[in-house]
Amino acid sequence: MLAAAGKLATFISLPYHPVMAETLATLLAERLNETLAKSSFAGDLPEGFRAHVEQAQNRQFGDYQSNAAMILAKQVKKNPRELASEIAESFDGGTLCDKPEIAGPGFINFRITTDALAERAAILLNDPDHLGVEQATNPQTIVLDFSAPNVAKPMHVGHIRSTIIGDSLSRVARFLGHNVITDNHIGDWGTQFGMILWGWKNLLDEKALEADPIPELLRVYREVNAKTKEDESLREECKGQLVALQSGDKENLAIWEKCIELSKIGLKKIYDQLDVSFDHWLGESFYNDQLGPLVEQLVAENIATESDGAIVIFSDGTLSEKEDPFLKSEDGEIKPQPALIQKSDGGFLYATTDLATIDYRISDLGADALWYVVGVPQQLHFDQLFQISKRRGQKADLQFIPFGSILGKDRKMLRTREGETVQLADVLTESIERARKVIDEKNPDLSDGEKHEIATVIGIGAVKYAELSQFRMTDYIFDWDTMLALKGNTAPYLINAYVRTRAIFRKLGSDFAGIDSFTLTADAEKNLVLKLAQFGETVPTVLNDFRPNGLATYLYELATTYHKFWEACPVLREEGAVRETRLALCELTGRVLKCGLGLLGIRTTEKM
């Protein structure tokens, strides 16, 4: 069947996964296209037409469905229902599916045979590393830019989203066989350093800094920031500190370096807790030396021009007014909206650094694709960057992967009771504490060490899952009670389903011993196998528009399907092939849940 992969490529096309061979959906589509090619109307088919088969929305009518007849009806001059019947009549499902049925205005519905399901289950069981997920045939080198907090400022909830989404995308892309390079592009050269330097010299509490650097740096930053609001001369002094730093003042450079070092230690603690890591930490300052030459080059290439003493990039007029990020409509008029890359005082900007970053990632890191997981307010910045990169003839696939806001229960931006922005570290601590309370009540007999471990996995998992189970553009409401609930679409529910798959082997007193073939007797078993087999159809779609929430939904459905199986099908009370099959289904479900949660960056525990 694998030999057909090249042919399959033409009818399932995902940008980062052109071939999805060997799933039930592609096997059915292959047969459907063979049927069409042999039909009486084969000559009337649109050039290169490929029928698709999808998972059925309503399982009442079948497991998979195709709307091919509805799409083709006009072209081949037939009524869609009649056409569907004609296709169904001549469709040869082999051992894969029963004779298709027609529903609604002309859907063709397929039901997978019990034999084919049993065969799928065996294939999955023999594929413990990939569980039916095919590797991409076009592995790309992808530089993934996410998290990227600003030094000496706290990592706030906006960075939570970037960190969690970015980490999950990196895991999925790696699992599919791509070469992923993660880079934490921290803001380590921003204007905040003017204030931090002044604060360091005048307000710093050395003891507090030693004990816990990030909160102390933050306190200093906030205090100076507040003071400058009322004090014009202090603002000038801070600016002076920044200029001294930028022109290489030894003392200021030493303080700056110390700040970065301390901040990194603090950040790493949070990343460890989150189980997130980066291949590189190439912050903004890494590109300082390249900014001057880059601006010169852009001017020489006629991409940038001087305007009022500054260097800017204007529209080149190749895009329509609506699409052109260098134009804006204001008071009913179209006006230029240039990108500023060097100020008239010689200073460089966020955009200049990002242009240098693109160069480095393409030429030094060998990137085919650059993905940025950054909040939606930076849309314009990235639209302009990507356009400039195109104008420079760079070929890398550039993807801006934005996300919305996190709201409090009052549907306003999430804030602490004191009205300040919520810090990621505090969110994690509180989540773990809350999970611990639930475990203390539910399972008081566990050891303290076990309780701590479980509370950490669930607390962190709950925060991540609340994020990843939503479409990233949705403004989601941060609510502890829903996040940590044991029922519903939550991390605790999913982890609990996994724990259940493990509990049975503890009861059995041994690990899963293997099985030669599956004997499927109950509907609940067949439903479960079908769901398990769809893991391979689900994972590649995550990179299609960058939606980990599709995987989350799948895992939730798998957990509920398993739950129903658990209720309907006794395992240890059975004997022989039925018992063996059910044990194997528990094992397989456990593997898929663990692997799928792992792709979301969520760990599992054996007990809870």
Q: Which residues of the shown chain bind ligand ARG in the complex (CB under 6 A)? A: 145, 148-150, 185, 187, 354, 357, 372, 374
Q: What count of residues does the chain have?
A: 608
Name the β-bridge partners of 330: 333
Instruction: Look up residue 120 and give its amino acid.
Output: R
Nearer to ligand ARG, 149 or 459 (CB): 149
- Min CB(38)–ligand ARG separation in Å: 53
Q: Least distance from C-beta 263 to ligand ARG, angstroms?
A: 12
Judged by beta carbon, residue 351 or residue 571, the one nearer ligand ARG is 351
Closest to ligand ARG by CB, 106 vs 402, is 402
Q: How far is the CB of 381 from ligand ARG (least distance, A)?
A: 7
CB of residue 457 to ligand ARG, shortest distance in Å: 28
Nearer to ligand ARG, 400 or 518 (CB): 400
- What burial class does residue 71 get, using C-beta atoms within 10 Å of its C-beta: 0-12 exposed, 13-18 middle, 19+ buried? middle
Least Å distance, CB 362 to ligand ARG, is: 14
Residue in 112, 106, 95, 99 with CA at minimum distance from that of residue 51:
106
**CB-nearer residue toward ligand ARG: 325 or 590:** 325
Closest listed residue to residue 146, CA positions, set 183, 193, 109, 92:
183
d(CA 389, CA 362): 11
Give the span between the Cα atoms of 469 and 600, in whole angstroms.
10
Q: Which is nearer to ligand ARG, 357 or 605 (CB)?
A: 357
> Which residues, other chains included, contact 528 with Cβ-Cβ below 8 Å and sequence gap of 6+?
561, 562, 565, 585, 589
Between helix 448-468 and helix 548-568 the angle, nearest 10°, is 120
- Least distance between ligand ARG and beta carbon 121 (Å): 44
Least gap, CB of 514 to ligand ARG (angstroms): 48
Q: Within its chain, how far is the Cα of 137 from the centroid? A: 21
Identity of the residue, 315 or 357, whose beta carbon is nearer to ligand ARG in the bound complex: 357
Amino acid at 213: P
d(CA 127, CA 133) in angstroms, rounded, equals 9
Smaller CB distance to ligand ARG: residue 100 or 190? 190
* Helices 576-599 and 548-568, axial angle in degrees (round to 10): 160
Tell the burial category of 29 from Cβ atoms under 10 Å away from its Cβ (0-12, 13-18, 19+): buried
**CB-neighbour burial class of residue 244 (10 A; exposed 0-12, middle 13-18, buried 19+):** middle
Q: Smallest gap, in angstroms, from Cβ of residue 528 to ligand ARG?
A: 42
Give the whole-angstrom CA distance, residue 467 versus residue 162: 10
CB-count burial class (<10 Å; 0-12, 13-18, 19+) for 394: middle
Task: Report d(CA 494, CA 465) in Å as an integer.
Answer: 10
Nearest to residue 561, comparing CAs of 537, 596, 530, 540?
Answer: 530
Shortest spacing between CB 182 and ligand ARG, in angstroms: 12
Place of tokens 């603002």: 235
- How far is 462 from 435, CA to CA, in rounded Å? 9
Backbone angles phi, psi at 8, to 5 degrees: -65, -30
Closest approach of ligand ARG to the CB of residue 187, in Å: 4
- CB nearer ligand ARG, residue 112 or residue 160: 160
Show the tokens assigned to 230.
Answer: 């009322």
- Closer by beta carbon to ligand ARG, 93 or else 190: 190
- Shortest spacing between CB 328 and ligand ARG, in angstroms: 21
The minimum distance between CB 270 and ligand ARG, in angstroms, equals 15
DSSP letter at 423? B
Residue 62 or 190 having the CB closest to ligand ARG: 190
CA separation for the pair 459, 483 (Å, rounded): 9
Q: Which is nearer to ligand ARG, 200 or 382 (CB)?
A: 382
Contact 66, 103 (CB under 8 A): no
